[in-house]
Amino acid sequence: MKLNIFQIDAFTDKLFGGNPAAVIPLERWLDDSLMQRIALENNLSETVFFVPASQPDIDFEIRWFTPELEINLCGHATLASAYVLFHFSTFSKEEIHFSSNSGILKVKREGDLICMDFPSWKPEKLHGYPFEIPAMLGNVEIVGVYKHRDVLVELVNEESVKNCVPDLKLMKKHIDKMIITAAGHPRSDEASDRIDFVSRFFAPGAGVDEDPVTGSAHSQLIPFWSERLGKTEMHALQLSKRGGEIWCEQRGDRVIMKGKAAFYMKGEIELDIA
């Protein structure tokens, strides 16, 4: 069996930036254990698989795997999948409807941006600092701790997020995934250069120490900062070494994430199975 594989850098317009995802289009689902082994072999934060859907009004079913496990939502690999479908397939619609373990995800093109419609997961405040969080983050100044799917920790400023050196071994003992975030600031005098919030994302429990750019985290960050800042449209940066840029919108019980993508490679996997 031969499979096509693409590697796409998501949430960036520059090669070697953003978050790389391996994209593998399928005609039918492979065995779960085989997809997990392929994801481990790829050794990227996410390998995404999709198959043509059989139900009406749905184009594809989509699933995402880290090197260690399957997860229920991934933004950058969904953006990468849409990029592959728009540029390297015969798919001709303007909007893709994916069926996933997090419901229906709609993705369309807006100029050079890919626009994704995802669920809004507002995190709720936790009282106190559970799970040794201050020790995990090097005793940085914490404003508050929240949780929806993942633990979200608000820090006092952007520099604290950028310079944080977490204890990933301690984190893995208590928490699978953690977001740290703070309000952003203008990069220049131009209003268009305003960064509303910044973040970083750690997932040692899923086999990813630090994810470069994380769409699913922004399903939680967007409602959090929309309420905090009193605005629905925002511009965000993820402050990993590779860096990533996301244009965000809170829209009722959904969030809109827009980003760019860069093509890295296309290859072929040859599997010795029927």
- Predicted local confidence at residue 154, as pLDDT: 98
Q: What gap in Å lies between CA 177 and CA 149, rounded to an integer?
A: 9
Q: What gap in Å lies between CA 248 and CA 222, rounded to an integer?
A: 7
163, 182, 170: which is closest to 134 by C-alpha? Answer: 170
Question: Which is the catalytic residue, given 41, 46, 210, 268?
Answer: 46
CA of 107: how far to CAs of 36, 59, 127, 198, 244, in Å?
Answer: 25, 11, 37, 24, 19
CATH topology identical between 2-116+259-270 and 124-252: yes
> What tokens does 268 get?
């072929």
What is the model's pTM?
0.92
- Predicted local confidence at residue 189, as pLDDT: 58
To the query of whether residue 46 is one of the catalytic residues in this protein, the response is yes
Digit-by-digit pLDDT tens for the chain (274 residues) are: 999 999 999 999 999 999 999 999 999 999 999 999 999 999 999 999 999 999 999 999 999 999 999 999 999 999 999 999 999 999 999 999 999 999 999 999 999 999 999 999 999 999 877 778 999 999 899 999 999 999 999 999 999 999 999 999 999 999 989 999 999 977 665 655 789 999 999 999 999 999 999 999 999 999 999 999 999 999 999 999 999 999 999 999 999 999 999 999 999 999 987 5
- Predicted local confidence at residue 204, as pLDDT: 94
Spell out the domain ranges in the chain. 2-116+259-270, 124-252
According to CATH, the superfamily of the domain at 124-252 is Diaminopimelate Epimerase; Chain A, domain 1 (3.10.310.10)
- Predicted local confidence at residue 126, as pLDDT: 93
| Segment holding 136, helix H or strand E | helix 133-136
Q: Taking each helix axis from N to C terminus, what angle separates 215-229 and 75-88, rounded to the nearest 10 degrees?
A: 120
Buried b vs exposed e over 46-75: b needs ≥16 C-beta within 10 Å?
Answer: bbbbbbeeeeeeebbbbbbbbbeeebebbb
- Predicted local confidence at residue 194, as pLDDT: 86
Using left for φ > 0, alpha for ψ between -120 and 50, and beta otherwise, residue 80 falls in alpha
- Predicted local confidence at residue 188, as pLDDT: 60
CATH numeric code, 2-116+259-270: 3.10.310.10
